[in-house]
Amino acid sequence: MSSTLTIPGEVGRLAEVRAFVREASRGRVAPKLLEDLVCAVDEAVTNVIVHGYDGASGPIEVEVGGDSQNLEIRISDRAPRFDPTKAPEPDLSLPLERRPLGKMGVHLMREFADELRYAPRRGGGNEVTLVKRLPARGGS
Amino acid sequence: MQTTIDRAPGDDATAILGLDGELDASNFQGVIDSASGLYAEGARRLVVDLSSLTYMSSSGLVCLHALALLFRGMPPPDPEAGWDAIHSIGLDTDAGERVAEVKLVGPQANVARVLDRTGLGRYFEVHPDRASAIASF
């Protein structure tokens, strides 16, 4: 079962993306983990808008899916190829204050998701999937 | 997101900027502009009340960094330039030094996590309420 939202790539639509992820994920993950995931999705979509489309609006599709073990959120776009899994991690040998602020979005995607996947989109563009592991339900 | 602006009682040089709602890439520049206006009007100390801020992305980090520089009379940072500008003003965070001109109030748990997980939180004093933040200057 999955839910999908398609928006034009505009920063004014970010609140709609967050509201969609909260609603589509409600009850599947604890509120604290959900807010972390919402932040990771926001950073991924912001990255597409600001760097991918670079001011020229294009479509962004956000799909919330997964199964009983994982919550998966796939973000697809038609922007030039960019693989955030290959983006250099802020150099962990550097003090935090020397890490570029502009790179903190990808850093938060990694911090707040359990897994980050990338695939080129068929026909052009990118598909980034953020995975949050769901705790096993006790009892039955 | 809504912003409110107040002044500390009897102290026009201390401004209080309240943020209510969600801070993201769509509105962080407006907050910087508001703070820039306060500085231009003579404010030299700033309390940023985060207690009604329900969400903050990395754009909020850029924003807080910019406020710290503004209230030191420095130009806002280039987002790609790193946090060297804060570092270069001589703060020794390991020794407990914090930005003296900008104090934060009451971040909610998810906002505090973004500050903590990126390391920016250690540059700022965080106070439970406006009164203690004002008194700390």
CA distance A104 to B80: 10
Among B42, B46, B85, B40, residue whose Cα is nearest residue B62: B85
Per-residue pLDDT at A92: 47
Q: Is B55 helix (H, G, I), strand (E, B) or coil?
A: strand
Q: How many CB atoms lie within 10 A of CB A19?
A: 13
Q: Residue written as tokens 């597409």?
A: A48
In order of their start, the domains of chain A are: 3-133 (3.30.565.10)
pLDDT tens digits for range B50-83? 999 999 999 998 899 889 889 988 877 666 666 5
CA distance A75 to A64: 9
How far is the first Cα of chain B from the last one, in angstroms, to the nearest whole number?
27
Residue of A nearest to B84 (CA): A98
ipTM of the complex: 0.89
pLDDT band at A78 (very low <50, low <70, confident <90, very high): very high
Q: Which residue among A42, A95, A98 places its CB closest to the CB of B57?
A: A42
| Residues contacting A111, CB < 8 A, separation 6+ | A36, A40, B117, B118
Among A43, A40, A39, A52, residue whose Cα is nearest residue A8: A52
| pTM of structure | 0.91
Q: Which residue among B55, B80, B113 places its CB closest to the CB of A100?
A: B80
